Amino acid sequence: MATAVSEVASRLFPPEGLVLEFGDDTVSYADLVVVAMLCDEWKSFLEMSALGSHLAASRQPDKAALRLEAERFRRGRRLEAAEDLRAWLATRSLSQPEWRSSLERIVLVQSCETPPASESPASESPPAALPDVLIVDAFCRSLWEETCRLAVSWLAAFHTGEGDGGVREHRVDLEEVAQLAVGIDVPASRVEVIASWQGAFDSVRRSLASDDAVERLVRRKDLDWTSFDFDELTVDSKEAALEAYLCSRDDELEPEEIVLRSGGELTSRSERAESLSATFAADLLAAPIGGGAVGPSETSDGWSITWLKGRRRPDAEDPDIRASATAELLEEFLDRHSAGQVRWIGPV
C-alpha cells in the first residue's frame, strides 16, 4: 500500500493526525482504532502486545526464528536494503531497537500461545502493554495497514449509496466500545459515523452476492476455479523425477513403490487451477483420474510427478466457491468506486 511520507506525532497512542482522505471524508489513527474495534481485531491486538511484553521480560526468543521473522517482515514490505528499512522506520519515528523488540514479541508469542502457569497464574492476565509498545506494534504488526484497507473499502461502499434497500446504518454497542477503548478518547458520535461506513459495506456485499451474479462469475471462472486432488512426489532433480515417471508409465509401479525407490517425499494436495502454473494446470485438466503419473514438473522445492485422484468443476452452491465469488465481485465493485478517491497523508 503506497503511503505519503508524514511525521507521526511522537510517543502518542494512537498517533495524532490524519492517515488518509477519501473524497470529503477523513480518517485518523484514532478512527482506525474504532475500525479495529468494529471488526474484532482490537482486543486481539492488545492481548498479543501485552503477552509479548510479558514473555519478553523473562525470555529470549529463538535466534533462528527471529532471523526468519526479520526476513519475512522486510520481504513483505520490500525493505531488503538497509537504507530502505531505516527510511521506513524514520517515517514512523521508530528506532531499530524498537523494531527488533517488536519482532522479539512476535516470535515469543508465536512460540508460546500462553505463558506457563508459574509465570502467570490462571486467575491473572499479563499486564497491559505500555503505550510505547503499542505505538511500535501497531506499525510493525500492520494494524494500521490492515485497518486502512478496511476503512477504504467501507468508505467506497458508503459513498456509492448502494446496497440492499439502501441500508447505511450499523448498530453498535457503544458501552462495549467504551470498555475496549481504555485510555483512548473515542467519541460516541464518531463511532456511529464509522459504524455507518461498515453498515454500507455489509449492505453492498449482501446486494452483490445475488444468485444470478454469483452464477455468472462462476461460469466465467470455470477453468480457474476447477479443483484438483492429487498426490505429489517431490525429488531433488529432474533426472530423478523422470526416472520416477518412467517407473509409473512403463513399469506400471504403484506410487508407494515409486516413493520407496526414489527416497522422495509424497504429499496429498487439493488446489484450484488458478493457484498452479498454467502448464501444470493444463496437464491436470487433460490427465485421466486414477491413471498414471503426470510430469515431471519443476517446483519451488525441486522436481515432482503427480497422480491425479479427483477433479471438480466449480459449483455456485459450494460455500467456498460462493465465498470466493462474493469476494471477487465485491473487490471489483470497490476498486471501481475507490479509484482516484484516496489521498494518503500519514504512514501505515
- Look at residue 126 and tell me whether its pLDDT is greater than 70: no
The listed CATH number (3.10.50.40, 3.40.225.10, 3.40.190.10, 3.40.50.300) that belongs to domain 227-312 = 3.10.50.40
Higher pLDDT residue, 297 or 99? 99
Higher pLDDT residue, 184 or 49? 49
pLDDT at 3: 42
Report domain extents, the chain. 18-207+340-344, 227-312
pLDDT band at 208 (very low <50, low <70, confident <90, very high): confident
pLDDT at 300: 79
Question: Containing H/E element for 343?
Answer: strand 342-344
- Look at residue 331 and tell me whether its pLDDT is greater than 60: yes
pLDDT at 164: 58
Of all residues in the chain, the percent with pLDDT exceeding 70 is 86
Q: Are 197 and 157 in contact (CB under 8 A)?
A: yes
pLDDT per position as a tens digit, 127-181: 666 888 999 999 999 999 999 999 999 999 999 877 655 445 566 666 666 666 6
pLDDT at 8: 45
Could you write out the DSSP letters of every residue in 3-20?
----PPPTT-SSPSSEEE
Q: What are phi and psi of 317, to 5 degrees?
A: -85, -15
pLDDT at 263: 85
pLDDT per position as a tens digit, 60-69: 999 999 999 9
pLDDT at 128: 67
User: Which stretch of 76-80, 120-124, 245-249, 336-340 has the lowest confidence by average pLDDT?
Assistant: 120-124
pLDDT at 31: 94
- Look at residue 97 and tell me whether its pLDDT is greater than 80: yes
Q: How far is 13 from 133, CA to CA, in rounded Å?
A: 9
* pLDDT averaged over every residue in the chain: 86
- Which residues lie closer than 8 Å to 170 by C-beta, 6 or more apart? 195, 196, 198, 199, 200, 202
**Top-confidence range, 19-28, 111-120, 172-181, 185-194:** 19-28
Q: Are 189 and 197 in contact (CB under 8 A)?
A: no
The β-bridge relationship of strands 294-299 and 342-344 is unpaired
- Look at residue 201 and tell me whether its pLDDT is greater than 80: yes
In DSSP terms, which residues pair with 344 in a beta bridge? 20
- Look at residue 316 and tell me whether its pLDDT is greater than 90: yes
Q: Are 230 and 265 in contact (CB under 8 A)?
A: no
pLDDT at 122: 42
Q: Are 325 and 316 in contact (CB under 8 A)?
A: yes
3 state SS of 333: helix
Q: How far is 89 from 99, CA to CA, in rounded Å?
A: 8
Q: Measured between alpha carbons, how far is residue 168 from residues 193, 342, 348 in Å? A: 10, 21, 28
CA atoms 151, 157, 161, 163: torsion sign: negative
Dig out the grid coordinates for 311 from the structure. 477433479
- Look at residue 11 and tell me whether its pLDDT is greater than 80: no
Q: Measured at the alpha carbon of residue 263, what is the angle toward residues 257 and 269, in degrees to the nearest 5?
A: 75
Q: Measured between alpha carbons, how far is residue 44 from residues 47, 48, 52, 98, 138 in Å? A: 5, 6, 12, 21, 12
